[in-house]
Amino acid sequence: MTKDDVLEFAGRDAISDPLTALLRSGAQHLINEAVEAELQDLLSRHSCRCTKDGNAVVVRMVICQNANCRAV
């Protein structure tokens, strides 16, 4: 491969126009929704499973730091 065959992608993380920003934001939103749906499905399928002590085997954890909470 010669140098002419190599494409430089410098600055590809920089948003260069509003359309790119919109597409990136939409894609991130769709990925977040898909992951959330998969998690909800997993939690619902295993919601009836308990330990010998009666505790749920699979739970959703929430992390709070400085009053900012997020589900994990």
Q: Could you report the per-residue pLDDT of 47-69, keeping only the tens digit for each?
A: 889 999 998 888 887 777 777 76
Answer yes or no: is pLDDT of 1 > 60.
Answer: no
Task: Provide the pLDDT for residue 33.
Answer: 95
Range of the domain at 16: 3-71
- Cβ atoms of residues 72 and 60 within 8 Å: yes
7-58: per-residue pLDDT in tens? 676 666 666 788 988 998 999 999 999 999 998 999 899 888 999 999 888 8
Cα–Cα distance measured from residue 26 to residue 10, given in angstroms and rounded to the nearest whole number: 23
The full DSSP string for 41-67 is: HHHHHTTT-B-TTS-BSS---EEEETT
Domains of the chain: total: 1
